[in-house]
Amino acid sequence: MSVQDLPEGYPFQRDWEITPREAAEMMAKGAIVAIDCRETNEWDTSRVSGMTLVPLGEIQSRVEEIEALASGGGTVAVMCHHGRRSMKAAMLLRQLGVENAMSIAGGIDWWSRSVDASVPRYTKDASGCKVIG
């Protein structure tokens, strides 16, 4: 893994992402609002304590709720499975006026690998989610 606790070659974008380790440290200090933008079945399979579930499809309709959670101007950090949906969510939140929205790079999969191995890793397909290794 790289210095940022991400896989070698990961296209990390500092202006848009924080690493899972950075997010965990900020959560411990109460310095971020942590949003999980995965679907309910993924949340039921694996989750990080302290995050609020707001599926990607609900971000726009729940933006006021997210803004209220971040009322002190703190960073809004969004996580998904691998980092693609959370990047979309961060971009959407910024378009909606949440200027401090960031994606948690590598998602819950890299959270499990670099922060907390007790958080189950899983695969997802049309039949649902399956916990792996």
- Listed in sequence order, the DSSP H helices in the chain are 20-29, 40-45, 63-69, 84-95, 107-114
What percentage of the chain carries pLDDT values higher than 70? 96
What amino acid is encoded at 35 in this protein?
I
| pLDDT tens per residue across span 58-99 | 999 999 999 998 887 789 999 999 999 999 999 999 999 999
Residue 56: pLDDT over 70: yes
In 3D, which of 114, 108, 115 has the Cα closest to residue 83? 108
